Every structure is written in C-alpha cells, then in structure tokens.
Structure 1
Amino acid sequence: DDALPGLTMSLVCHVSPSCSSMQLSRLNHALPRPGAWSPGHARHHGRRVAVHATPRAEGGSQEIPESVATYRSSDGRLKAAAGPSFQRKAASGEDPWGFYYQVAERNLVWSEDLTARLLKAAVAAGLGLEEEEVEQRLGRLTCYLPDLVHKLPRMRAPLVQALVERVDEIPGRVLELRQVLPRANLGRMLADHPGVVLSWSARGLQDAVLRLEALLPGIDVERVIAEFPVYLDVEGVQDAIREAERLLPGYDVRAAMARDPEVIHSFQKMSAMIPYDPPGPVTDEECAGP
C-alpha cells in the first residue's frame, strides 16, 4: 500500500542484535516511498530492531500537504491520512502519529502507552465524553486510588468506565470502607479489586463482615477480606464449605480457611470462580444472538 506523507512510521522486524548495516539498509529501502524518504535510525531491543523513517514531500521539501482524515483502500480497509493535527503534533517534537502505521498485527509492539490510549478512547466512546474529559477524570481517580496508576492500562475497559463515570463517589465510598474495615490494607485491596469500591455500601459491607465472623469463628475478617474479597460473597463461602464437606467428609474446612484463606479456591464451583464476569448477555446485540 502507498504510505502517506506526514506520518512517522515504525517497522519492527525479528532480527538478531548483530544484524549488519547492509540488512538495515535493505529494510530502509524496502519501506514505501511516496516521495523522497529520509532514513531514520535503528534501535536494538534484544532480538528486535525498530527501524524508523520520516517521509519528505516530492523534491525534498519539508512541507506536508493537507489530506483527508481517512480513506478506503482497494482492499476495503479504512486507513488514516495525514492532516493539520498531525502537523501540529510533529512541530511540537512529538511523534505525529500515535500508533504504528500499517504493520502486521503479529509484529505490533503493544506498549502500556498504546494500551492506555486505546483504553481511554474506549471509555470516552462508552460514556459519550471527549477524551480530554476522560483524562481529567482518570487523573482524579488515580488521585483517590493512587495504587491504580500502574494498573490502569491492564484493567478491563467496562470496569474503568464504571470508575470514571462515578469518580466523584469514590472518596466517600473509600471513607465508608475505612469505617467498616479500620485495620485492613485498603490500598492493596482496592488496587487488586477496584470494583469493590463501587459494589459495596457501608451497610452491606458491615452485614457481610458480621455474617462471615459467625460463619468462620476465629478468622481475621479484615485481613481476609482485604486479601481475598471473594469472602464478601458469604453465600459463595457457604457453598464452598458444603462442597468441601461433600468431597472430604471429616475435613475441618472452617479451620483450614482460618489458617489459609486461599483454600476457598479449591472448593469454588465453576459459576463462582470468575465473579466479575456478567452472568448473561449485557447488550442488545448479544441478546439478539448471531
């Protein structure tokens, strides 16, 4: 396919760090050439080499022509073209294009920066907000829950969307959790299971704590809940106990849970093993089926 003027292109190839300059030269010459290209530089990353090339307009001019934002190629794919926003971004010293350009997916290097951009775009589309507004809300979210900073790019988009949508509720809910669980490591708990901050009210959490203390006497409820929020599902814990008693008659599963709370995972039923997944269709399209 013809490359477009005004784009910085990154091509990643699987070659050894000791590849020769002749090999890199051949890679540079293999790049699409809409006009005269100014070869960029090559950086070694273990067994990968990232080869960058910057396009010039015909005749060597640095002027980047205007073009439409997107177009359909002959194979039917939607492709992006250069535009004024790319020129402004390039003039600021940043890469004018935030994604790798027309590279086979198997060769695409997924960085946390790229994942964060895609996540932000998905959340903005889901909430009908501008990406700038989403970015501001994410800033407040990480201010309230600082341990999420490095985990956000790996979180599921629906959960991030829910947190962003209700971000102004989070400080009050964290205070409620602290009142019910004064000794728990809430930072770790909410970093590993951020959905808890939206799923539980103070009254519901207090009720779950009291029921769990009655079900498992002697257990350190605050520590267990902070490390394994699955114990907040008291009905699920009761099911796990019954399953353990059925499989292992005479086995004191309650004492085992008090010693090692992680033992609950050995007796959970399949329907309870991934409690954060929806139990059924969640969109009209899924309800309609294929």
Structure 2
Amino acid sequence: MIIPSAPLHELHVHSSRQATLQSHISRRDRKTCLTHEHLARICVATSAQPDNARSPYIGTDGRRKYTWEEAFTSRDDGDAAAQVDGSAAEREQSVPWSMGWQASERRMVLTDDLKSRMQQRLVSEKLDIPEEQVEACLVELQTLMAGSKDALLRLKPDLVAEMVQRLPEVAARMIGLRAAFPTADVAKMVSQHPTLLLAINPEGLPEVAPKLSAILPGVNVDRLVEQHPSVLDVNSFEQAVSEAKRLMPGKDVVELLRNNPDFILSLQRGSNLIPYDGVGDLPAP
C-alpha cells in the first residue's frame, strides 16, 4: 500500500512509546511516495532517541540527510543523530563540507593603530623581546623623529628592528646632527631620510660643516644639509665637485648646484654614500 505525501520538511518525533510523525506541506504541489516500510524505519529509528535528541532528516531513499542546523552545532550533538544508520562506516563519516568566510583585502582599512600593533609584533618576534619593550622603544624613536608617527610606520620592519636594537646609537646621531647644524630642521630631515640615523658617523659630524663651508664658500650649510643629506659624506661630495669643475671648466659650482643639483650630486661615489632621495633648490646664504 502506498501513501501519497508532500515533501517532508521537518520531523518531530517524541520518544513516548508512540512516535508521532508531523509533516508540513510545501508551497509547491510536488508529490512523492513514502512506503509503509520507510515510515516504519523512521519511527523505529527515532523512537530509541532521548527526548532532547534532534531527529535526523531521512530521505526517500532511506539514507540520512545532513541539515543546515547541523552545520552550526558541535559534533557531540550530532553523535546521537548519527546512530540512526546501522552502518559503522556512516557513523564515523564526518560532514563532507564546512562553513567559513573570506574578507576582500581591497575592502580592509588598516588604521594607524592597527599598523602600529602589527609593527610592534613583527619587531618583537624579530628581536625576541616583549612587545611592551618594543612599544617603549618606538615611542622614544617617534620622539626623536619629532613625533612623526607616519614616517615611522612607513619604514620596513627590518629597519625599525635595527633602529630599536641600536637605539642608543640612534639617539647619539640625532643629538650630533642638531649640534652640528643648529639651524637645520633635523627632525624633518631624519623623517624623510631615516637611514641617516644608522649611516652617519656621529664623531665626525663636528667637522662636516667647516669642510662644506670650505668647498662651497658663502652657502648656508645648514640648509644645504637639510635639503641634500647626501653631502654629509664630505669626501664623496668634494670629489663630485672636483669632477664637475673638470667636466665644466669655468663654471660656478654654486650656480650649478642651484640650477642642476642632480648633475653634481650624481657624481658622488663611495661605499659610505648616503642614499639620495630628492632634490630641492639650493638655499641662499
């Protein structure tokens, strides 16, 4: 005997001695057939479950179907329902899919606070020191760079780690630059060229200004160093000026620096040459 029925969306079975089967008719008028044998299998299988156990969904072919509700419950909750099938292999089989989410990097916004925390963690892992200690060092570095947090966040983690590791040397170089060039905006200079705090020799800074004044008489040395930090390598800069005079005899070197600073500064050579990142107008004396 065949009993016509609409698709079963939900089975509520109570474990009192008589199992009750409730079916809700779908909005679509599709019809299917469930045999007495199938209904009996459902009732017998679910009657053995406790009252608080969730009844599984059994398909028309007699196999257990996974539901959306099971995707958001623990495996412990599903163990009782997994006992419906008599096969041990099916009881041990896990859900063949998983739920998750993925965020697009183009829609992610990294705030300064998040960048700072990431920087602290990377430096902490590289130097193997606590993040609290790294944070204190970064605050001191930021103070040395005139509170320029943006400039510090733009640096590569390896460079920041080296500056943190050599913090006393960095502070000594900063003090030396301010003492050697009192009217220069040293904070702005190191913010634009942070490698200065690792490259220059603080002991030789007092001799730089007199040498530059001798090479370029009448030039405001402090402004020159502020706008063109590469001239701190005095020996290399002196060779570049000599080369410019040789290539362009009779030309005023100061005038050449005003009109075409790239030409002379590009002639600098040396292993200790400071990377040159920009060109500005030569300041008037």
- The aligned counterpart of 1:111 is 110
1:266 to 256, 263, 267: 263
> Distance in 2 between the 1:162 and 1:270 partners?
26
| Structure 1 residue 179 displacement after superposition | 2.2
C-alpha spacing 1:130/1:233, structure 2 compared with 1 (3 Å): same
Q: Write the letter of the residue equivalent to 2:228.
A: F
Q: 1:276 to 1:160 in 2, by over 3 A?
A: farther
Over residues 187-226 of structure 1, what are the superposed CA-to-partner deviations in whole Å (9 max), with x where a residue is unaligned?
2122222333343344301122221111111111111112
Q: CA deviation at 1:158?
A: 3.2
Q: Which residue number in structure 2 is paired with residue 219 of structure 1?
A: 219
Whether 1:157 aligns to 2:157 is yes
CA contact (8 A) 1:147 1:191 kept: no
Tell me the alpha carbon deviations over residues 89-137 of structure 1, each in whole angstroms, 9 at most, x when there is no partner.
Answer: xxxxxxxxxxxx85576x4746354544443333223322233321221
- Give the direction of change, closer, same or farther, for the CA distance of 1:177–1:199 in structure 2 (3 Å limit): same
Moved more, 210-219 or 149-158: 149-158
Alignment partners' CA distance in 2, 1:225 and 1:199: 15
Q: Does 1:136 align with 2:136?
A: yes
**How many pairs align?**
182
Q: What is the CA–CA distance in structure 2 between the aligned matches of 1:250 and 1:222, rounded to whole Å?
A: 27
Does structure 2 conserve the Cα–Cα contact (< 8 Å) formed by 1:148 and 1:191? yes
Q: Which amino acid aligns with 1:58?
A: F
Conserved? CA contact 2:184–2:223, under 8 Å:
yes
Residues in 2 aligned to 1:201 and 1:144: alpha-carbon distance in whole angstroms: 17
Find the aligned partners of 2:110 and 2:147 in 1 and give their Cα distance: 20
- For the Cα contact (< 8 Å) 1:116–1:152, is it kept in 2? no
Q: Which residue of 1 aligns with 2:121?
A: 121
Residue 243 of structure 1: CA displacement? 4.0
RMSD: 3.8
Asked if 2 retains the 8 angstrom alpha-carbon contact of 1:237 and 1:264, the reply is: no
- Residue 261 of structure 2 aligns to which amino acid in structure 1? I
- Aligned pairs for 1:33-182 within 5 A: 58=72, 107=106, 109=108, 111=110, 113=112, 115-182=115-182
Shift of 1:239: 3.4
Q: TM-score normalised to the size of structure 1?
A: 0.50
Structure 1 residue matching 2:150: 3-state secondary structure:
coil
CA contact (8 A) 1:183 1:222 kept: yes
Q: Is the 8 A contact 1:216 1:254 kept in 2?
A: yes
The 1-side partners of 2:104 and 2:268 are apart by 37
User: Could you tell me how far apart the structure 1 residues matched to 2:203 and 2:268 are?
Assistant: 29
Task: Name the structure with the higher strand share.
Answer: 1
- Inter-partner Cα distance in structure 2 for 1:168 and 1:208: 22
Distance in 2 of aligned mates of 1:148 and 1:209: 26
Partner residue in 1 for 2:193: 193
Could you say which structure has the larger radius of gyration? Answer: 2
For 1:31, the equivalent position in structure 2 comes to: none
Deviation at 1:164, TM superposition (A): 1.2
Could you list the runs of 5+ residues in structure 1 that have no partner in the other structure? Answer: 1-34, 38-56, 61-81, 83-100, 278-290
Structure 2 spans left out of the alignment, 5+ residues: 1-66, 75-99, 276-285
**Residue 30 of structure 2: aligned partner:** none
Amino acid across the alignment from 1:137: C
Q: Secondary structure at the match of 2:219?
A: coil
2-structure distance, mates of 1:243, 1:199: 25
TM-score (norm 2): 0.51
Contact 1:240 1:264 in 2 (8 A): no
Distance 1:198 1:234 in 2: 17
Closer/same/farther in 2, CA of residues 199 and 211 from structure 1, 3 Å limit: same
